[in-house]
Amino acid sequence: MKSNHTQCVRCTIERCGTKDSSKAVPAYCPTEKYSDLAAATMEKYRHRDNRAVLEGWLALMTQVLDPEKPREKYSWSRVDEVMEYARIRGMKRLGIATCRSMTHESLLLTDILEHHGFEVVSVSCLCGEVNPGDLDLPGEIFCNPILQAEVLDKENTELNIMMGLCVGHDILFLKHSKAETTPLVVRDYSTVHNPVAALYQSQGRFRDRFFGK
């Protein structure tokens, strides 16, 4: 029996990439399946906070994808994009939530941001380290991403940047961060923090790892 749960990655119609609404789409197409939600999101984009993010993104992409500079879009690093977004939004005080193992990289980022006129607040994941026993959990010590988020909130950061937080800890940080948050580094030791490499290698060297022999 075919499943009707949403699977955009398996769609071969790709009507959403055009304005042609006459094309038949799969039963799992979320635009059709959840048309009421699609309509409701339009109102949410009109909310002041969401609108501000959207306008910031649009202004950034207008520069990154400038048709007068077709080669320049390949020269924008993620660091460039984060700084330009912050400038567009008028954000001056940036927060860095870093994994302790990425303190060096976060210091490099701090130097770059400060050189470009930003104020930078940084908090290590082991700030306010947690004794697992106090939570009836095993182990000796673990990080405190909730405190990272709350410290940056107390420090009045306007944009937070995640630097290599663990899976799970990044979820808690995002859940508790009141400021807008964007990831710069997603930790992946096996690929030197480049997770998409594992996806490409799933068709090559990592195939046995993900699909077995």
Q: Element (H or E) spanning 98, and its range?
A: strand 93-98
Q: Which residues pair with 93 in a beta bridge?
A: 119
Q: How many CA atoms lie within 13 A of 170 on its CB side?
A: 16
Q: What average pLDDT does the segment 98-121 reach?
A: 98
Main-chain dihedrals φ then ψ at residue 27, nearest 5 degrees: -65, -25
Give the Cα separation of 146 and 132 in Å (integer).
15
Give the Cα separation of 132 and 62 in Å (integer).
47
**156: alpha, beta or left, given left = phi > 0 and alpha = psi -120 to 50?**
left
Per residue in 68-102, pLDDT (tens digit) is 888 888 899 999 999 999 999 999 999 999 999 99
Per residue in 180-205, pLDDT (tens digit) is 999 999 999 999 999 999 999 999 99
- The pLDDT of residue 2: 63
Kindly report the pTM of this predicted structure.
Answer: 0.92
Residue type at position 39: A
- Whether the predicted pLDDT of 17 surpasses 80: no
Per residue in 62-77, pLDDT (tens digit) is 999 998 888 888 899 9
Q: What average pLDDT does the segment 137-157 reach?
A: 95
Please, are residues 188 and 194 in contact by the beta-carbon 8 Å criterion?
yes
Give the Cα separation of 185 and 3 in Å (integer).
35
Q: What is the DSSP letter of 87?
A: H
Which domains, ranges and CATH numbers included, belong to the chain?
25-76 (no CATH), 90-199 (3.40.50)
Q: How many CB atoms lie within 10 A of CB 161?
A: 26
Distances (CA, A) of 110 to 27, 93, 105, 114: 48, 12, 9, 6
Per residue in 117-141, pLDDT (tens digit) is 999 999 999 999 889 999 999 988 8
CA angle 197, 203, 206 (to 5 degrees): 65
Distances (CA, A) of 76 to 69, 71, 187, 191, 192: 12, 10, 21, 22, 20
Q: How many CB atoms lie within 10 A of CB 20?
A: 7
